[in-house]
Amino acid sequence: MKRKIILVIKTAVFLFLLAATLFTVMVVTERKTSYMKNKSFFEEAKKDHLDVLFIGSSHVINGINPIDLYQDYGITSYNLGGHGSLLKESYWQLIRALDYCKPKYVVVDCYMMDRNYEYVDEMYEDTPKEFKQAAVSQLHLNMDAYPLSKLKIAAVKDLVHDPKIQYEYLFDFIVYHNRWSELEQKDFQKLTGKSEYNTLMGAEMKHELEWNDNGMTEYNPDDKLSEHTVCEEYLMKIIDECQRDGIGVLVTYLPFSAEEQDIKSANSAAEVAANYGVPYINMLQMEGLIDPMTDLCDPGHLSSTGAKKVTDYIGNWFSENADLPDHRGDDSYSNWDKLCKDYNKEVRSISIKHRLLTTQLNELTLGKASAIVYLTEDSPALQDPWFTHIISNLTGTDRVYEASKNHQQYFMLIDRASGNIYEAVDYEQIENMSTSMGEMTYVPIEKRFRLLYLTSDEENNFLYDDNYLKDDVQIITYDNESGEMLAHIYCESSHSYEIDE
Amino acid sequence: MQLISVQFIILLPIMALIYFLIPAKIRYIWLFLMSWGFYLSLDLRGFPVLLFTSVSTYVGGRLIEKLEGGKKKAVLSVVVIANLVILALSKYTGLTFLAAAGMSFFMFMAIGYLVDVYRGDLYAEKNFLLLSLFISFFPQVTSGPIERAGHMLRQFKNPQKFSYDRMRDGLLQMIWGYFMKMVIADRCAILVSAIDADPVKYAGTATLIASILYTFQIYCDFSGYSNIAIGCARILGFDLMKNFDAPYMASSIQEFWRRWHISLSSWFRDYVYIPLGGNRKGTARKYINILIVFILSGLWHGATYTFAIWGLLHGLYQVAGHMLKPVKERLCTVFKVETGSFSHRLLKIVTTFILVDIAWIFFRVKDFSSAIYMVLHILKPAPWFISKGTIYELGLDRPNVLLLLISICILIGVDIANRLDIKISERITRQGIWLRWLIYIVAVTVIVTCGIWGPGYDAAGFIYQNF
């Protein structure tokens, strides 16, 4: 008998150790994106810190920055947007999130409301297989972080048709055990709770710009969806759910390079919002809200500067239309202040130096550093409409086009502390420029020689260096307050706008 | 439900627990229900074939025992032919409604039983459930081992008590089986299928690697299944016959067949080769008998003529081995070869491996010309396939290829130990608790984590299940 008892105890201990080992392996091999995205959500929701939830697709992830919203308006929010998420997925995302918190407002974006299929793993009959696979993979971002529950099972069953694939969301080790061969440091860091996580409260800012003309389709306000779609139904469900719970709803259509079906969706969304009596902001229709050449990182997604504009717009709307508390200065929200500081530091770092000159120049519009830009008269960049557009966007004037048109050298200084912007074309001189570096003077002498010096130190020329005679673009950045020089970038723009990091 | 499915792994302990809790006298009924339930979950459409084999074998066995002379023979012939006709029709004519998972295995077991009863080596089983259980016993129904009725019926009638040691040994064998199947065989399969999909695209070295890996794939796939089946049966208190015994350690083709798919080889020996006269009717007849048995063995595997060529090749290897034996002995004497030396044994093992490897090419390709192309292609080496890293672009990245190599080394190590009569499982169980547990936990963790399963993996695939 005693032997039997010992055997039972030994077996139990063994099974416990085996289970603990397997659990550890599951934690390590799990794809961390969902965990990273939602870690702060669970923490902030637990503290009842979230006044606004944003739901929608990647347009929301890249278009709304809760850190800016807090920094500029004191509104605490979380970006629960999911890559490729349809409104049906957003609905379930919201339902799961409401299990953890009760926000004062939910902002729902209606991109892809034209999609009229039930299951992400089936889509339409003629949808290519790789699209379905991508959708199945993207849904993991929304699902993985949430523990197994009746709600999660219901969500998975409603979103995914194939039972085999359903299991992949309920027991994701089925998918992730294969990651053993690609594990990184961060995978193991999760065991100690010190792994990286999303520091923008769910948002992802796209800083890098890629050249595209991002043309906009002409907006026809009468074009509407020809049928009642599955996604439209779920928009209604989202509004119903919020209204039932006494949560304010704001329906949006964030801007991008929209096509015809997007315009139809936007117009139909307006009808749904009107029927429910909820506010609707259709940014597709707002000409001039964003600059497609700099505020879109690709035709579908906002860049960080675009996100800043859109977030500002939403922040203003809340200030005027909702009674949301300003949490700035509240000690219990001090981690938000720290995240703001970190984000500002990141933007500043990109403004000072980035792999792509165009990205750096665009980021300078966010004002985290002051800058001096010089282009030689034969600079290829000066003849590039995109590059000159970015410069013009930075200064807010058309003087760079003048230099471009006449093949003349161009100088620009933008001093954030004083708000002064100085520009010179051809052989124009500028004296006594007031900057946080001190009083400065710019004197172009000849094609390959120009002077930029502190009035107090004429010996030190900032814009000349024998080692960089071939480079036609120079960017100097300096600290807004102290005037300390932060970086001096040289670039030969005939090759590309890429610089050595 | 497959032996490598999560459902099976969850259900097995529950089924075993109930099995040991119910009275010994009726345990076979529970086993029978489990076996039919398992089969129904695996192949509902094939169940009528299993049912037909069970009923015809039961009735046939009873009649054979009762009848005498020509009638007895007639009944045996009718039942055997009826089963073989169904097998042949489903295999060779593509009548899929007659196909059933594992039919080649359970029909051979049934035929073996009938012949044993006919010969008077065995009494006909009166209990239909017991006989049906023998034919459909769930660990072996789909891929063997092709057991003998005398061996199994005796065990079903006298079930063992629960034994901790048997359970542990059974689990260890299952773990080893899962390792062979999920870590080695299915990993090999990824590379092999990638190269086989377009052999012209890849250099000779790739074909060589694919052919070597296939050799390990088919071994680990089938032997892995056998280990799982044998381990599973052992947990329940049953001993199934050994099906593989380090076959690639064989130093001749004859020895290879004593170590490879032992249950099928011995079945052909007992029910085909010996009735044909075996080696009792002269050398020429012996060679013919060998060739007949191996061609039949090839055809047992599948309908295409490449399987027959594979069988024929093995038959020819054996015949050539017998015929050249005096020449080999003469050469050894002339060149004073120390036949007991390690180098000589190694040379024989490697030569046998190469011959088996070449035969597997015919086994796996769709037609004769593809096989010849592959054999010739192997002779065009291109080592840069490895050095340039092309091998890592065929579905397995560097860590996976490394894991595969390590796993194959472990497999070879275990087989060498088996060949030297060192029982690894016994060695492990003799160790202190911490080391034993560490080995068990690491093994399970490696299988669960590094085993090939999940999305994109076809869980239906044990190669031998198709035969």
CB A475 within 8 A of CB A373: yes
Q: Which residues of B touch A180 (CB under 8 A)?
A: 399, 449-450
8 Å CB contact of A14 and B445: no
Residue A470 pLDDT: 83
Range from A101-110, A396-405, A465-474, B230-239 carrying the lowest mean pLDDT: A465-474
Q: What is the mean pLDDT of chain A?
A: 92
The yes-or-no verdict on residue B459 having pLDDT over 50 is no
Q: Is A284 helix (H, G, I), strand (E, B) or coil?
A: helix
Which residues of chain A lie closer than 8 angstroms to B448, CB-CB? 22, 25, 177
> Considering only CB atoms, which chain B residues are within 8 Å of A174?
453-455
Tokens of A23: 């659990």
Q: Does A174 touch chain B (CB under 8 A)?
A: yes
Q: According to CATH, where is 3.40.50.1110 located in chain A?
A: 42-117+199-343
Yes or no, beta carbons of B449 and A25 under 8 Å apart = yes
Claim to verify: residue B131 and residue B198 sit in the same structural domain: no
Q: Over 50: is that where the pLDDT of B460 sits?
A: no
The pLDDT score that the predictor gives to residue A170 is 93
A130: left (phi over 0), alpha (psi -120 to 50) or beta: alpha
Of the candidates B433, B444, B451, the beta carbon closest to that of A18 is on: B444
Please state the rounded mean pLDDT for residues A6-12: 90
The reply to whether B467 falls in a domain is: no
Residues in chain A: 501
φ/ψ (deg, to 5) at B61 = -60, -45
Q: Does A5 touch chain B (CB under 8 A)?
A: no
Its ipTM equals 0.85
Give me the amino acid identity at B178.
Y
Whether residue B77 is contained in a domain is answered as yes
Residue B25 lies in a domain: yes
Q: How far apart, in Å, are the Cα atoms of A102 and each of A67, A82, A247, A324, B370?
A: 20, 20, 8, 14, 66
- CA angle at B88 for the pair B85 and B89, rounded to the nearest 5°: 80
Q: Considering only CB atoms, which chain B residues are within 8 Å of A164? A: 455
| Overall average pLDDT of the A141-161 stretch | 93
How many CA atoms, within 13 angstroms, populate the side-chain half-sphere of residue B197?
Answer: 8
Taking CA–CA distances from A14, the nearest residue in chain B reads B437
A283 vs B455 pLDDT, higher one: A283
Taking CB atoms and an 8 Å cutoff, what residues of chain B touch A14? 437, 440
Kind and range of the H or E element at A52? strand A52-55
Interface residue A460 vs chain B (CB under 8 A): no
Q: What is the pLDDT of residue B379?
A: 84
Beta-carbon contacts of A138 under 8 Å, excluding residues fewer than 6 positions away, are A82, A83, A84, A85
Same domain (yes/no): B118, B254: no
Same domain, residue pair B333 and B414: yes
Inter-axis angle of helices A230-244 and A87-98, nearest 10: 20
Q: Assign 3-state DSSP to chain B and report helix, strand, coil percentages, each to 5.
A: 75, 0, 25
B106 and B238 co-located in one domain: no
Q: Are residues B174 and B57 in the same domain?
A: no
Interface contact flag, B164 A18, Cβ < 8 Å: no
Same domain, B248 and B382: yes
Rounded to an integer, the average pLDDT of B54-63 is 96
Q: What is the pLDDT of residue B304?
A: 81
Q: Considering chain B, what is the average pLDDT of its residues?
A: 90
Average pLDDT over residues B250-279: 92
Residues B172 and B246 in one domain: yes
Are A174 and B454 spatial neighbours (Cβ–Cβ below 8 Å)?
A: yes
The burial of B426, by beta-carbon neighbours within 10 Å (0-12 exposed, 13-18 middle, 19 or more buried), is given as exposed
* pLDDT at B442 (0 to 100): 96
Query: Is A165 in the B-facing interface, judged by CB distances under 8 Å?
Result: yes
Contact, B116 vs B148, CB < 8 A?
yes
- At B464, the pLDDT band (50, 70, 90 cuts) reads low
Tell me the angle at which helices B103-119 and B69-92 cross, rounded to the nearest 10 degrees: 170
In a domain, B455, yes or no: no
Chain A CB contacts of B167 under 8 Å are none
Task: Compute φ and ψ for A250, nearest 5 degrees.
Answer: -125, 120
How many residues are recorded in chain B?
Answer: 467
Tens-place pLDDT, residues A27-58: 999 999 899 999 999 999 999 999 999 999 99
How many Å is the Cα radius of gyration of chain B? 23
User: By the CB < 8 Å criterion, does A177 face chain B?
Assistant: yes
* CATH annotation of A42-117+199-343: 3.40.50.1110
Q: What would the two tokens of residue B10 be?
A: 């969850």
User: Is B437 within 8 Å of A174 when comparing Cβ atoms?
Assistant: no
- For residue A219, is pLDDT > 50? yes
A178 touches chain B (CB under 8 A): yes
* B455 to A22: CB separation less than 8 angstroms, yes or no: no
Q: Is the dihedral of CA B453, B457, B461, B463 positive or negative?
A: negative
- CB pairs under 8 A, 24+ apart, for A396-401? A396/A421, A397/A421, A397/A423, A399/A423, A399/A425
Q: Which of B449, B452, B457, B458 to mutate to test the interface with A (most CBs of A within 10 A)?
A: B449
Q: Indicate if B96 and B220 belong to the same structural domain.
A: no
Q: CB atoms < 10 A from the CB of A234, how many?
A: 22
Q: Tell me if chain A has a CB within 8 Å of the CB of B23.
A: no
Query: Using CA atoms, how far apart are residues A393 and A410, in angstroms rounded to an integer?
Result: 15
pLDDT at residue B467 in the model: 53
Paired tokens of A173: 């080790």
Residue B457 lies in a domain: no
Residue B118 and residue B192 share a domain: no
Distance from CA of A189 to the nearest CA of B (A): 19
Question: Omega into A103 within 30° of 0, i.e. cis?
Answer: no
CB contact under 8 A, A25 and B397: no
Question: Distances from the Cα of A252 to the Cαs of A50, A60, A134, A278, in angstroms?
Answer: 19, 10, 25, 11
* Whether B149 and B216 share a structural domain: no
Q: Is A183 on the interface with B (CB under 8 A)?
A: no
Are the Cβ atoms of A168 and B454 closer than 8 angstroms?
yes
Q: Which of A475-479, B253-257, B458-462 has the lowest mean pLDDT?
A: B458-462
Matching residue, tokens 């074909």? B207
Nearest to A21 among B441, B450, B454 (CB): B441
Direct distance between the N- and C-terminal alpha carbons of chain B, in angstroms, rounded to an integer: 18
Return the CA Rg of chain A: 27
Separation CA B305–CA B311 (nearest Å): 10
The three-class DSSP label of residue B113 is helix
Q: Say if residues B139 and B230 touch (Cβ distance below 8 Å).
A: yes
pLDDT higher than 90, residue B332: no
* CB nearest A175 (choices: B403, B441, B455): B455
Q: Does B359 have pLDDT greater than 90?
A: yes
pLDDT reading at B221 higher than 50: yes
Burial class (CB in 10 A: 0-12, 13-18, 19+), A268: buried
Strand ranges for A77-139 from DSSP E = 77-79, 105-109
Average pLDDT over residues B173-178: 96
Tell me whether B78 touches chain A (CB under 8 Å).
no
In Å, how far is B418's CA from the nearest CA of chain A?
Answer: 28
Lowest mean pLDDT among A256-260, A492-496, B146-150: A492-496
CA neighbours within 13 Å on the CB side: how many for A22?
Answer: 16
Do the chains contact at B449 and A181, CB–CB below 8 Å?
no
Q: In this model, does residue A287 exceed pLDDT 90? A: no
Q: pLDDT, tens digit, for every residue of B72-103?
A: 999 999 999 999 999 888 888 777 777 888 89
- B17 and B128 both lie in a single domain: yes
Whether residue B403 and residue A165 make contact (CB cut-off 8 A), yes or no, is no
Confidence of residue A221 (pLDDT cuts 50, 70, 90): confident
Query: How many Cβ atoms sit within 10 Å of the Cβ of residue A359?
Result: 23
For residue B466, the model assigns a pLDDT of 54
At A495 the pLDDT is 67
Give contacts of B 391-410 with A, CB under 8 A: 397-400, 403
Residue with tokens 């090419």: B361
Q: Degrees (nearest 5) of the Cα angle B186, B35, B156?
A: 115
Dist CA B30 CA A116 (whole Å): 50
Size of interface A-B (CB pairs under 8 A): 45
Q: Which of A287-296, A427-436, B148-157, B275-284 has the lowest mean pLDDT?
A: B275-284
Interface contact B449-A180, CB threshold 8 A: yes
Res. B458: pLDDT tops 70: no
Q: Mutate which of A177, A179, A182 to disrupt the B interface (most B C-beta within 10 Å)?
A: A177
Helix-strand-coil split of chain A, %, nearest 5:
45, 15, 35
B441 at A interface, C-beta within 8 A: yes
- Confirm or reject contact between A466 and chain B (CB < 8 A): no
Could you give the percent of chain B with pLDDT greater than 90?
Answer: 67
Cβ–Cβ under 8 Å, residues B297 and B464:
no
Does residue B295 share a domain with residue B207?
yes
Nearest to B207, CA basis, from B379, B396, B350: B379
B458 touching chain A per CB within 8 A? no
The string of pLDDT tens digits covering residues A153-200 is: 999 999 999 999 999 999 989 989 999 999 988 899 888 888 889 999
Boundary (domain end) residue, out of B159, B189, B216: B159
Contact at 8 Å (CB) between A327 and A388? no
Residue B458 lies in a domain: no
- Is the per-residue pLDDT at A141 higher than 60? yes
User: B445 at the A interface (CB within 8 A)?
Assistant: yes
Smallest CA–CA separation between A282 and chain B, in Å?
40
Q: Total domain count for chain B?
A: 2
Rounded CA separation B111/B148 (Å): 10
Amino acid at B355: L
Which residues span the domain enclosing B363? Answer: 166-450
- B1 falls within a domain: no
Which tokens sit at A177?
């055990």
Q: Would the CB atoms of A165 and B397 count as touching at under 8 Å?
A: no
Cα nearest neighbour of A10 on chain B:
B433
